[in-house]
Structure 1
């Protein structure tokens, strides 16, 4: 007696050929993609063969072969993902590693800087700046040629008790750096508010803004501001607390001893102010303070 047939054997059906064709198409696509990523051809061929072998094993009727095919496919996929990821990661790191952040500049390597502080723009004929300093603010060398020197930065050779150097002073509505505040009662007979610098005939111009100190505790009185050469008066102006800052621009060519002197009536008077007094000289008007 003949038993009925249970159908065609798995090896004779078209399903395995369809599966094999799909595997070949997928394998070819994978090969093209891997080559496009710059993977070595030998490695690509090895992965393709392993993947095809795994697909072919799945088509065999033996369960052991099928299990081996599954392992081959899984192993091929894992290795393929690893191989593709490695060059991409290397490329990304190569791109990011190509640029390095520059370190902060060493302050010791900074060039020396010429610095001056003025209350008004320096004209083109006197554009040379006054004090050569390092980045740390220490004097390093003298400026070459005539230049502006702030008087409060240099030691006087004679002085009264009433002149005090201040970082900033206000006259009217304008503030001036590197200035002088005169706080003592002062007169021709008792010249407390004065300073004298040894210019030695090496300077040609004095520039200063004068008036009453807007920060004074008192508001009365009239101050008189005098520029002297060898103790002789060269120029003078007067000011009250309501007077705007006045600019004294004095020719001091040939002057050896330059004096700034001002008068103040007493403790009820507002303080006097010399805003940014400076001289244009070929040499400094004294030692640096």
Structure 2
């Protein structure tokens, strides 16, 4: 009896579902990439990306056509509105205004330089004609024009009372200052470091402040100059210009300074050697 050999055929699983499944995974991956990119961009770019995303879904294709999308290398959070908006003709020209202001400052700076240079020349001429070079000197800096007066030209030792003969000097100075009414003026008193304690002055602070105030009052006797332009200050012994170890140095430190202040300062010229310790 012959046996029929029964042939067993191995059943193959239908794998056709893998194709749409792979497409679905591809779409999900693309979705996450797009969502991540959209979170890094502004609303306008997000809408553009979503339109490309919808086009890919509704087009019946199995994968995205990435050429329709905005490149992921686009920098995030850039506000395109400020580039898209037209220039407002009513907006002032800021650069033009700045240039105009700078020109005005330059013009004022040049005027102040001319004024202070002229005043310095007048003071220097007066000093030379009256042989006062050992008692008065001038210095023009980027901040001010300073007239320095030794204390013995104005006061007796330990006193804040202006000498009668010094009132003529004060009158001449005030006449010159009256010709330049646009400048503020500081009158400062300085002493040496020798302690003072008298019935009139307990410290060098008191002496320097009183000397500055009294000399300023003499200047203000000229009714051509406004008192609102002036201020007085006493520095005591704390701003010396020379050593206090010698009599000559202490004599230089005892002084009154009349400073005519600039309202516009020129650009500072930095000396490289001054930065060295």
TM-score relative to the length of structure 1: 0.38
Q: Pick the structure with more strand per residue.
A: 1
Compare the two structures and name the one with the higher helix fraction: 2
- Which of these two proteins has the greater Rg computed from alpha carbons? 1
